[in-house]
């Protein structure tokens, strides 16, 4: 498994490109997490004595790659979290699915999570414990019986994009939990958090970061897909 790449770092924010297969935070596997890797990187980069603070703002499923952001201060973490909760942030994912779901649209669902099975189901509206999920999607290209999709979660529900793709009749490559025909070679899911745009916690204007696609041969580039990591923020450079 490869290591994360640092996309952006300043006094309040650390943004990484997490590789597929790495947990976002420590879990029962005891494998190195992106959170622990980030803490060690900050400690080395800035010669920090003692324990390094990184606040968890959001997470990516272990088999998913892409932009993962932490707060380097409690203020940074709280404000980034608030922006996500209040839907003042924009996330863009890329996914490769089996089949062709069509040109695009917006999917509205009610999801219920079975925490024991770590699986999410679509249920009727009003079901106790369920949460509304809205996903905007657009087909970018079709090749060899597979489609490259741009996916925008308008809500932040567990497994939301994975369930959305499966509900369209086109599960994400490698996503055996939601209907994929076969695993991918590296046991990843063909889902990548490509871009994040969020208000910076202390500076005017937004922070925008992009993570280039992983190297898996099932990915391909179109004009809409970032070919390299990128970051921009109004104000001073990091």
Residue 5: φ, ψ to 5°: -115, 140
Catalytic one among 61, 114, 175, 186?
A: 61
Task: Work out the end-to-end distance of the chain between its first and last CA atoms, rounded to an integer number of angstroms.
Answer: 28
Beta strands in the chain (DSSP E): 5-9, 13-18, 55-56, 65-71, 90-98, 104-114, 119-122, 131-143, 146-153, 191-199, 206-210, 230-233
61 flagged as catalytic: yes
Beta strands in 27-89 (DSSP E): 55-56, 65-71
Three-state DSSP state, 200: coil
Burial class (CB in 10 A: 0-12, 13-18, 19+), 145: exposed
Record the tokens describing residue 165, joined without a space: 């793709």
Handedness of CA 130, 198, 107, 182 (dihedral sign): negative
Catalytic residues: 61
């Amino acid at each position: 498994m490869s290591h994360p790449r640092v996309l952006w770092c300043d006094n309040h924010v650390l943004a990484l490109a997490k590789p597929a297969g790495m947990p976002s935070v420590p879990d029962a596997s005891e494998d190195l997490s992106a959170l622990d890797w980030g803490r060690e990187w900050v400690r080395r980069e800035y010669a920090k004595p003692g324990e390094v603070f990184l606040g968890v703002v959001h997470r990516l499923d272990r088999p998913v790659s892409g932009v993962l952001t932490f707060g380097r201060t409690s203020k940074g973490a709280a404000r980034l979290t608030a922006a996500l909760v209040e839907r003042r942030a924009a996330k863009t994912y890329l996914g490769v699915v089996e089949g062709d779901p069509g040109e695009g649209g917006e999917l509205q669902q009610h999801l219920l999570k079975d925490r024991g099975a770590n699986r999410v189901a679509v249920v009727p509206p009003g079901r106790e414990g369920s949460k509304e999920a809205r996903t905007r999607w657009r087909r970018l290209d079709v090749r060899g019986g597979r489609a490259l999709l741009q996916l925008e979660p308008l809500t932040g529900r567990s497994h939301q994009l994975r369930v959305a793709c499966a509900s369209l009749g086109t599960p994400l490559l490698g996503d055996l939990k939601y209907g994929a025909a076969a695993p991918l070679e590296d046991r990843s899911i063909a889902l990548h958090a490509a871009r994040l745009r969020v208000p910076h916690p202390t500076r005017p204007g937004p922070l925008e970061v992009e993570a280039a696609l992983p190297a898996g041969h099932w990915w391909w580039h179109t004009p809409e897909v970032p070919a390299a990591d990128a970051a921009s923020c109004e104000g001073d450079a990091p």
